[in-house]
Chain A
Amino acid sequence: MKAFKGVFIANYKQFVRDRGALFFSFIFPIMFILIFGWAFSDPGVATFDVALVDEGSPVTAGAIEEGLRQVIIDDNSVFEVEAGELEKSLDSLRNGDIDAVIVIPGDMDSSVDAHSPDNLDVYYDPSQTYNQQIMVPILNEVINQVDRIIQGAPVIINLEEHSIQTKELRYIDYLVPGILGMSLMFTGIFGGVPVIQQRQAGIIRRLGCTPLRRSMLVFGDLVFRMIIVILTAAIIVGVGRLIFDVQMVGNWFSLCGIVILGTLVFSCIGYLIAAFVKTEEGAIPIINAITFPMMFLSGTFFEVTNMPSFIQPVVDVLPLTYVSDALRQIMVDGVPLHSMGIDIAVMAGWTAACLAVTIRFFRWD
């Protein structure tokens, strides 16, 4: 116990003097949350500026204008409608001053009266994906409704939306658990580095002259890292909450459980590296080659369902995929630990496999 205390204090002192470790554990994740949180914060629903060019069909034009004005989301009008001339409006569209130009042909009113189909033209810039994905469907819907009203057709089937999520998932809600998972990965895998450094510097050999069990050296470091990650988790969740109002729906004990299990998985990967790599200079590039791809492929920042299908099997074996998934389930949906069997099983499997190979090949000197 006395030896454990000694190792623990030694680790603590070394950690607080290691600027790199402090940065990676605390500053790095917060930076990511702030940068990605602000850069990709949900814009709500943007306002679209629409020029309405009426070429002589005031009734239809009025109905469409009215229809556009009635599209309201979160107390805000979605469309800012202005009357305009065709050429000027198209220029504004090209300059990016407005988002769409709707041209109502002069014969529209008479076509409506005659119940004969007619076209109206909508100009927009499809390179703005937001226009294509959001504005055009809404415009379509508005025109359809106006069409139905003019024709006097009743609405028979109405879509009523029900979310199966207990809570609306914003990007930041997705991001924060991902960043926490990433931190566990870095802190855990970098846990192999002191072992390599101390072995390289002959410190482990020197301590072999004392009654200290060498396993205690690693164990003390592991326990210290567990405390660091719990602190990191508290900071990440705290910053998420204070700045972006990210809720922590689940149970704190469950979160700590996954944080500790996740750190264990990654620490064992770190020790596995230490079993095969003798020098710090050799280990760092290997760690980078493992951690950075894993960070992206495990959906830390964005869901990976959009990736090419040949990547998917890789995604499915990466431990971070499951750690982040478990953290997300707890934070976003409040899922209890016993309902995350697969996540926990994969983490346990990775831990056991890495530990087995490490024990087989690891050398203290």
Chain B
Amino acid sequence: MNNQSGTVISVSQLHKSYGAVRAVNGVSFEVHKGEVFGMLGPNGAGKTTTVEIIEGLRFSDSGSVTVLGMDVSKDVRSVKQRIGVQPQSPALFPTLNVREIVMFFSDLYSKSIPASEAIALVALEESSKVLVKNLSGGQQQRLSVALAFINDPDIIFLDEPTTGLDPQARRTLWEVIEKFRNAGKTIFLTTHYMEEAERLCDRVAIMDHGEIIALGTPRQMIDEHFKESAIQFRMERYPSPEALMALPGVTSTAEEGEEIIIYTNNIPAAISALLNLASASQTEIHDMSIRQATLEDVFLKLTGKRIRD
């Protein structure tokens, strides 16, 4: 790893097609040691395929992937010893209990942390004797996360780890991830929650149609795409996009469900003009909010979709 000692994952010119569908189309990026790297994208963007090739679950058609200095296509078993994976669906033996599952997984690796430690990490101590099939969806998800930590990995891959968790459990998991990062480990995260990505990720890559369309820190991305702030509201009768664009300082507009978003670098002038527009066309404005642009806005601008779609 000599001259790139800080790089733990290196992906270069990755291609993968399923029949005529190009799932991954020339993806290249690097993940640095000790960072939380986020991968965002709408469903079908090629995130999962990319991650699964890095994890050694799938083979690429072309391109190279190096993980911890090892070529995944050659040293897949050594790579798997040193990474932890939490896949999207937990998929565990239904008639084993929490502790037995954790013990089973620790037997699969040459080194592992104590089972009780892994269980405590995701606060499942009280359920350690409960069979997997009797756990709630959220508990299964937490167990699945615990299993990703069982081999004390250098890199951990979390695929939507907080989906289905209540806010309390989500916050707990965020703390686990931050603790893990503070220990110098690397986290590769895919998520649907922009708030989560903004809070946790040092850098994010946005994928769409099999390609990375943006990569950087969340702050960089927002600054790069939006000098403006966002005004978000509902209106009984939709004004034309031209009318909205004509408002003071407005640089772009977007629709998000029933809501309209306008991005402007002159908030006070834009608001008063907007209110005038509404009264002139005898309609009302509801639920108006003014906020800083977020990663969600960047995502919407770049992909034309909300991430949840």
Contacts and interface: CB of A to CB of B under 8 A. Distances in A.
Contacts of B89: 202, 206
A211 B108 contact: yes
B270 interface: no
A3 B108 CA distance: 5
A318 B53 CA distance: 45
B301 interface: no
B37 to A, nearest CB: 18
A6 B110 CA distance: 12
A206 B150 CA distance: 14
Contacts of A3: 107-108
Contacts of B103: 6, 9
A12 B91 CA distance: 19
Contacts of B253: none
B93 interface: yes
Contacts, number: 68
Nearest to A15: B95
Main secondary structure of the interface of A (DSSP, over half): helix
Contacts of A10: 93, 96, 100, 104
B85 interface: yes
A202 B85 CA distance: 14
A12 to B, nearest CB: 10
A14 B108 contact: no
A210 interface: yes
B217 interface: no
B93 A14 contact: yes
B238 interface: no
B67 to A, nearest CB: 13
A17 B108 contact: no
A212 interface: yes
Contact of A209 (B55, B92, B95, B104): B55
B83 to A, nearest CB: 8
A2 B91 CA distance: 22
A14 B131 CA distance: 10
A9 B96 CA distance: 10
B77 interface: yes
B252 interface: no
Contacts of B93: 10, 14, 198, 203
A5 B57 CA distance: 24
Contacts of B77: 211
Interface of B: 55, 57, 77, 80-81, 83, 85, 87, 89-96, 100, 103-110, 131
Lowest 4 A-B CB distances belong to which pairs? A6-B107, A202-B91, A209-B85, A206-B91
